[in-house]
């Protein structure tokens, strides 16, 4: 079924009708299409007066035999009732292939497999609620989105609590919210209730895609205002039809309100298909927990603040607090050029992170960060205004006659690192007199004369042949 829009003029077929027949319009030719319920059914040519409560934008119409009218039957949704047992009892049974079950004492979600493994196999999840809802995702992408909205509405009625969460499982498929809910100011999927969690059933973001073509300012495919929400294993995408808004009001695949510190996102992919929208909302504070998340350019706090915890996350160019503030904790994260507080403030903790040119402080940036085992090569300029602690890092500048690190504070410390400057540049430079602590550094250029090293036996090895 298409499920875009139905109008009286679109019902042109001639056949028998039965009570409860579902019909949606075909976007290609405007003709109605019937869903099969029981025996073969269709519909007869009906005049406009036979349309009651005309459905729009993805809603479903149903023929009411008693009234002789087509009516809006709201949305398709399903509450997934699963077998619930303690672990010991669950391990003794064989689940049917694809059957879901919930382990009450370990809070696992399990699924039956083809091999008939006793007790089923655990769904890879850290989001476990005592109540589980499923989405009917067997229709078109638009129908799947309608069903997801309906299931979320059901979850809200279940009074979720921090100790009794509700988990919505998303089967593989595409969920298309088109231009948003036209009856509700073009909002996308609104996550406005705490303790309702979403998880892709397979755990792979490419299997479950939430998308839209929303082109309304301050809207997104997924809009989040509730703080304590956990999401895992799906993708958020957008392809806006026209450009509206700017920075924090520009449409985005993920459009949260600022500073949702209790939010946890794992294995989430964010994307935007054109310049009319962002993959992630800009100019806000991302203060939650992000693990194994991926975005293209201008994500993770573009023009804003990243104060949360980021582990194994990957971004393109201008990510992780570009033109903003990178004050969070970042472990094993990878960015393109101009990431991690570039053109802004980098004062967070960076562990084993990789950023290309201009990352970790550049241009007008201030960098009072802690950097451990980080790498930034092929840079056009130095790490600017360094005031922090650098340990076991590799910094390479290829810009003509550029320094590797420029210090602007006597708290600057650089230990056990490799610093590669270019041409007449220095490994560590200061425009005026500053103290610094520099030890066990391997470099191709000397420390500038304005820098007084407070380490008595610094072991700074200068050799023009040093390279990365």
- pLDDT of 351 reads 98
- pLDDT of 123 reads 64
Shared domain check, 239 and 225 = yes
Q: How far apart are CA 269 and CA 345, in angstroms?
A: 26
Shared domain check, 142 and 249 = yes
- Assess contact for 372 and 392: CB atoms under 8 A: yes
- pLDDT of 30 reads 42
- Bridge partners of 442, per DSSP, are 418, 461
Pairing of strands 252-256, 278-280: parallel
Shared domain check, 136 and 26 = no
From the list 36, 262, 20, 288, the residue with the least C-alpha distance to 162 is 262
Q: Which of 279, 306, 336 is the last residue of a domain?
A: 279
Shared domain check, 253 and 182 = yes
Shared domain check, 133 and 55 = no
From the list 293, 363, 305, 365, the residue with the least C-alpha distance to 335 is 293
Contacts of 184 (CB under 8 A, 6+ apart): none
Classify residue 181 by its DSSP letter.
Answer: B
Query: What CATH number did the domain enclosing 110 receive?
Result: 2.10.10.30
Q: Which of 234, 263, 279 is the last residue of a domain?
A: 279
- pLDDT of 228 reads 98
136-163: b (≥16 Cβ within 10 Å) or e: bbebbbbbbbbbbbbbbeebeebebeee
CB atoms within 10 A of CB 90: 22
Shared domain check, 218 and 171 = yes
- pLDDT of 113 reads 72
Shared domain check, 100 and 62 = no
How many structural domains does the chain have? 3
Q: The domain containing residue 98 runs over which residues?
A: 83-122
26 in any annotated domain: yes
22 in any annotated domain: yes
- pLDDT of 399 reads 96
161 in any annotated domain: yes
Residue 52: half-sphere exposure toward Cβ, Cα within 13 Å? 12
- pLDDT of 76 reads 42
Shared domain check, 136 and 20 = no
Q: Which of 247, 279, 311 is the last residue of a domain?
A: 279
56 in any annotated domain: yes
- pLDDT of 81 reads 55
5 in any annotated domain: yes
350 in any annotated domain: no
- pLDDT of 362 reads 72
- pLDDT of 364 reads 57
- pLDDT of 20 reads 40
Shared domain check, 109 and 129 = no
17 in any annotated domain: yes
Shared domain check, 128 and 116 = no
398-411: b (≥16 Cβ within 10 Å) or e: ebeebbbbbbbbee
For the entire predicted model, the pTM comes to 0.76
pLDDT tens-place values along the chain, 468 residues long: 233 222 323 333 333 334 444 444 333 444 444 433 333 333 333 444 444 444 444 344 454 555 655 555 444 444 455 688 899 999 999 988 777 787 888 777 787 776 778 888 776 544 444 689 999 888 999 999 999 999 999 999 999 999 999 999 999 999 999 999 988 899 999 999 999 999 999 999 999 999 999 999 999 999 999 999 999 999 999 998 778 889 999 999 999 999 999 999 999 999 999 999 999 999 999 999 999 999 999 999 999 999 999 999 999 999 999 999 999 999 999 999 999 999 999 999 999 999 999 999 776 567 889 999 999 999 999 999 999 999 999 999 999 999 999 999 999 999 999 999 999 999 999 999 999 999 999 999 999 999 999 999 999 999 999 999
44 in any annotated domain: yes
- Assess contact for 166 and 196: CB atoms under 8 A: yes
Q: How far apart are CA 297 and CA 39, in angstroms?
A: 52
Shared domain check, 273 and 133 = yes
Residues found in the chain: 468
Q: How far apart are CA 253 and CA 205, in angstroms?
A: 14
Q: Strand runs (DSSP E) across 12-60, as ranges?
A: 22-25, 32-34
Shared domain check, 205 and 156 = yes
């Amino acid at each position: 079924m298409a499920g875009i829009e139905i109008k009286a003029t679109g019902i042109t077929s001639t056949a028998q009708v039965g009570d409860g027949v579902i019909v949606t319009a075909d976007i290609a030719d405007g003709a109605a299409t019937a869903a099969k319920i029981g025996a073969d059914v269709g519909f007869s040519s009906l005049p406009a007066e036979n349309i009651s409560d005309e459905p729009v934008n993805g809603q479903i119409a149903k023929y009411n035999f008693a009234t002789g009218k087509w009516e809006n039957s709201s949305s398709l949704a399903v509450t997934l009732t699963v077998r619930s047992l303690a672990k010991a009892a669950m391990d003794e049974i064989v689940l049917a292939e694809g059957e879901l079950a919930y382990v009450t004492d370990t809070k696992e979600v399990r699924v039956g497999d083809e091999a008939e493994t006793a007790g089923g196999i655990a769904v890879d999840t850290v989001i476990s609620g005592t109540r589980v809802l499923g989405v009917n995702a067997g229709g078109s992408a638009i129908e799947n989105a309608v069903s997801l909205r309906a299931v979320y509405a059901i979850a809200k009625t279940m009074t979720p609590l921090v100790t009794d969460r509700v988990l919505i499982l998303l089967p593989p498929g595409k969920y298309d919210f088109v231009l948003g809910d036209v009856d509700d100011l073009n909002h996308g999927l609104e996550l406005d209730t705490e303790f309702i969690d979403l998880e892709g059933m397979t755990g792979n973001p490419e299997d479950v895609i939430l998308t839209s073509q929303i082109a309304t300012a301050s809207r997104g495919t997924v809009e989040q205002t509730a703080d304590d929400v956990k999401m895992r294993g799906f993708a958020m995408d957008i392809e806006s039809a026209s450009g509206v808004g700017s920075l924090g009001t520009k449409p985005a695949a993920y459009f949260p309100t600022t500073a949702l510190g209790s939010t946890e996102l794992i294995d989430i992919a964010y994307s935007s298909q054109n310049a009319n929208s962002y993959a992630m909302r800009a100019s806000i504070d991302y203060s939650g927990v992000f693990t194994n998340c991926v975005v293209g350019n201008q994500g993770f706090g573009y023009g804003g603040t990243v104060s949360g915890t980021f582990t194994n996350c990957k971004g393109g160019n201008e990510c992780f607090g570009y033109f903003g503030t990178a004050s969070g904790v970042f472990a094993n994260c990878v960015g393109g050029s101009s990431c991690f507080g570039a053109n802004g403030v980098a004062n967070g903790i960076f562990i084993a992170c990789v950023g290309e040119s201009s990352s970790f402080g550049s241009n007008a940036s201030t960098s009072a960060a802690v950097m451990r085992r980080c790498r930034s090569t092929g840079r056009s300029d130095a790490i600017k205004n360094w005031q922090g602690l650098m340990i076991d890092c590799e910094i390479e500048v290829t810009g003509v006659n550029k320094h590797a690190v420029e210090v602007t504070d006597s708290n600057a410390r650089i230990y056990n690192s490799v610093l590669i400057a270019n041409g007449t540049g220095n490994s560590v430079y200061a425009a005026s007199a500053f103290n610094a602590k520099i030890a066990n550094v391997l470099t191709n250029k000397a420390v500038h004369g304005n820098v007084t090293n407070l380490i008595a036996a610094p072991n700074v090895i200068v050799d023009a042949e040093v390279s990365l």
